[in-house]
């Protein structure tokens, strides 16, 4: 079993054109995940001199290359809860921002001819207990009644069994606008498109310090390879810890990096895969500590979850792999003996309200905090922040949101085991 991401391992590597670090650019983007690459593409398309500075040796090797491969619409939190807090108009707009985000991915795939198996087969949220169905039904009804998403549909246990070969589920809520894609091939295509349009992408270039030049948006970025002066800077650093938190301490107290873990089986063969998940959707279970799964184009099962409340590391990933193997066997006992070819973990950039945050502070622009629901929103926000930085403040669907620090959080998430215990107890009592 490889302790590596299936997505990056099975995609062609992106080769940055070799460039000396530019002394001056219009825009510097810190972080070469989906947010940074998408912003770079948008800036390059309009002719700006843009450079992506990525700490790792590859682009999209953190969350963007380590996720479950879901491109889901819908909020990460219940629409009705959000509407109760901020009102229907705002909750509706935020819900629709995710529809727009899936559309953005689909459009970029089409416009840049990115070969990444993009499909729109929908997401099915599955009830593992009969008493969860009521909440799913209320969610669906509320989305329909408020005219937010009239395409959602409740599937009963028999319908779910017709497309998911498992006895574990009591029904589900289907979001039809959700999609799936091969994350590694999408990343490679996005980076290649940005470069083709003129963006410079510098891997192995961690930004260690950012120095503000005057009171506007100009900054000097310090790296071990030299400095870059930029008229504008976008921080697209996700949850990762590459020196970034040292420089951008303000973000450190607002984002909790939480490990999420994934295993991928050997290819199951077309027939067995078709019997297992006939509709080839993305699937998530209803729980705080939930599972998510889907098939790949080469008929493997990708099965993930927040197996442990720990930070990803080789030991932690392997331990989580064993927990996920048990979850997989419980969900699909017929796959109990199947070989696992891949196991990895990654860091989710969780915020307290589980919604993204994007805007400007002290002359620096930022977009992050997608809270495990960011494959589509990161791509969307890269493009949207490029528009914001070009003068269109209303392009940011998450503008004007307060982002208070998390009390007691100074960077290292010491409280994760306690949070994990709390949520597993909550799931057991539900």
Ligand X SMILES: Cc1cc2nc3c(=O)[nH]c(=O)nc-3n(C[C@H](O)[C@H](O)[C@H](O)COP(=O)(O)OP(=O)(O)OC[C@H]3O[C@@H](n4cnc5c(N)ncnc54)[C@H](O)[C@@H]3O)c2cc1C
* Binding to ligand X, residues 227-256 (CB under 6 A): 236-240, 242-244
Instruction: Considering the complex, state which of residue 20 and residue 337 has its C-beta at the smaller distance from ligand X.
Output: 20
Q: What distance in Å separates the CA atoms of residue 125 and residue 107, rounded to the nearest whole number?
A: 25
Instruction: Considering the complex, state which of residue 133 and residue 180 has its C-beta at the smaller distance from ligand X.
Output: 180
* Binding to ligand X, residues 39-58 (CB under 6 A): 53-56
Q: Of 8, 105, 135, whose CA–CA distance to 65 is shortest?
A: 8
Where residue 413 falls (left for φ over 0; alpha for ψ -120 to 50; beta otherwise) is: beta
Instruction: Considering the complex, state which of residue 22 and residue 243 has its C-beta at the smaller distance from ligand X.
Output: 243
* Binding to ligand X, residues 337-366 (CB under 6 A): 346-348
Decide if residue 378 touches ligand X (CB under 6 A).
yes
* Binding to ligand X, residues 292-331 (CB under 6 A): 304
| Structural tokens at position 414 | 């010491």
Residue 133: CB minimum distance to ligand X, A: 24
Residue 30: CB minimum distance to ligand X, A: 5
Decide if residue 188 touches ligand X (CB under 6 A).
no
Size of residue set near ligand X by CB under 6 A: 46
| Structural tokens at position 200 | 């410079």
Closest residue to ligand X, judged by C-beta, is: 374
Residue 297: CB minimum distance to ligand X, A: 16
Q: Which of 44, 174, 206, 268 binds ligand X (CB under 6 A)?
A: 206
Decide if residue 35 touches ligand X (CB under 6 A).
yes
Q: Of 62, 90, 81, whose CA–CA distance to 184 is shortest?
A: 62
* Helix residue spans in 203-313 (DSSP H): 244-247, 249-252, 270-276
Residue 332: CB minimum distance to ligand X, A: 19
Q: Of 63, 50, 65, whose CA–CA distance to 13 is shortest?
A: 65
Cβ(336)–Cβ(280) under 8 Å?
no
Q: Which of 7, 8, 48, 62 binds ligand X (CB under 6 A)?
A: 62
Q: Which of 327, 372, 397, 413 binds ligand X (CB under 6 A)?
A: 372
- Contact region with ligand X (CB under 6 A), list: 82-90, 145-153, 369-377, 413-421: 369-377
Instruction: Considering the complex, state which of residue 136 and residue 377 has its C-beta at the smaller distance from ligand X.
Output: 377
Instruction: Considering the complex, state which of residue 347 and residue 389 has its C-beta at the smaller distance from ligand X.
Output: 347
Sequence-distant (≥ 6) Cβ neighbours of residue 210 within 8 angstroms? 30, 219, 220, 221, 222, 233, 247, 248, 364
Instruction: Considering the complex, state which of residue 315 and residue 334 has its C-beta at the smaller distance from ligand X.
Output: 315
| Structural tokens at position 17 | 């054109």
Which residue in this structure is represented by tokens 């879901």?
A: 70
Residue 62: CB minimum distance to ligand X, A: 4
Decide if residue 184 touches ligand X (CB under 6 A).
no
Q: What distance in Å separates the CA atoms of residue 430 and residue 423, rounded to the nearest whole number?
A: 10
Instruction: Considering the complex, state which of residue 55 and residue 276 has its C-beta at the smaller distance from ligand X.
Output: 55
User: Strand, coil or helix: what is 149?
Assistant: coil
Sequence-distant (≥ 6) Cβ neighbours of residue 132 within 8 angstroms? 170, 286, 430
Decide if residue 186 touches ligand X (CB under 6 A).
no
Q: How many Cα atoms within 13 Å fall on the side-chain side of residue 87?
A: 2
Q: What 8-state DSSP symbol labels residue 233? A: E
Residue 50: enclosing H or E segment and its boundaries? strand 50-53
- Contact region with ligand X (CB under 6 A), list: 123-131, 137-145, 167-175, 373-381: 373-381
Q: Which of 178, 192, 195, 375 binds ligand X (CB under 6 A)?
A: 375
* Phi, psi for 270 (deg, rounded to 5): -60, -40
Following CA atoms 23, 26, 32, 37 in sequence, which dihedral angle do they give, to the nearest 10 degrees? Answer: -140
Binding site for ligand X (CB under 6 A): 30-36, 53-56, 60-64, 66-70, 72, 206-207, 236-240, 242-244, 260, 262, 304, 346-348, 368, 370, 372-376, 378
């Amino acid at each position: 079993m490889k302790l590596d991401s299936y997505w990056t391992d099975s995609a062609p590597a992106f080769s940055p054109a070799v460039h000396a670090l530019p002394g001056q650019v219009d825009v510097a983007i810190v972080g070469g995940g989906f947010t940074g690459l998408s912003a770079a593409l948008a800036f390059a398309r309009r002719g700006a001199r843009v450079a992506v500075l990525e700490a790792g040796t590859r682009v999209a090797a953190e969350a963007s290359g380590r996720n479950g491969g879901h491109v889901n619409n819908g909020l990460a939190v219940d629409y009705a809860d959000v509407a109760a807090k901020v009102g229907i108009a705002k909750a509706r707009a935020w819900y629709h921002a995710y529809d727009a985000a899936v559309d953005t991915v689909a459009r970029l795939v089409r416009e840049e001819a990115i070969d990444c198996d993009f499909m729109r087969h929908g997401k099915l949220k599955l009830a593992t207990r009969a008493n969860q169905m009521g909440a799913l039904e209320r969610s669906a009804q509320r989305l329909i009644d408020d005219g937010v998403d009239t395409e959602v549909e409740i599937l009963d246990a028999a319908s779910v069994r017709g497309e998911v070969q498992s006895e574990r589920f009591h029904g589900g809520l289907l979001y039809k606008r959700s999609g799936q894609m091969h994350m590694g091939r999408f990343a490679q295509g996005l980076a290649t498109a940005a470069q083709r349009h003129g963006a410079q992408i510098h891997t192995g270039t961690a930004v260690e310090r950012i120095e503000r030049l005057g009171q506007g948006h100009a900054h000097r970025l310090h790296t071990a390879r030299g400095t870059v002066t930029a008229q504008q800077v976008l921080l697209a650093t996700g949850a990762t810890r590459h020196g970034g938190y040292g420089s951008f301490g303000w973000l450190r107290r607002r984002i909790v990096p939480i490990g999420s873990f994934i295993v991928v089986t050997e290819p199951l063969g077309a027939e067995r895969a078709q019997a297992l998940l006939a509709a080839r959707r993305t699937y998530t279970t209803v729980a705080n500590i939930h599972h998510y799964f889907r098939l790949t184009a080469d008929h493997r099962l990708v099965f993930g979850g927040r197996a442990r409340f720990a930070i990803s590391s080789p030991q932690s990933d392997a331990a989580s792999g064993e927990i996920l193997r048990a979850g997989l066997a419980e969900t699909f006992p017929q796959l109990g003996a199947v070989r696992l070819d891949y196991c990895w973990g990654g860091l989710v950039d969780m915020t307290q309200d589980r919604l993204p945050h994007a805007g400007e502070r002290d002359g620096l622009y930022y977009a992050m905090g997608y809270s495990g629901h960011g494959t589509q929103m990161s791509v969307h926000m890269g493009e949207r922040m490029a528009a914001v930085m070009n003068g269109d403040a209303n392009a940011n669907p998450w503008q004007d949101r307060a982002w208070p620090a998390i009390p007691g959080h100074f960077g290292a998430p010491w409280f994760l085991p306690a949070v994990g215990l709390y949520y597993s107890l909550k799931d057991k009592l539900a």
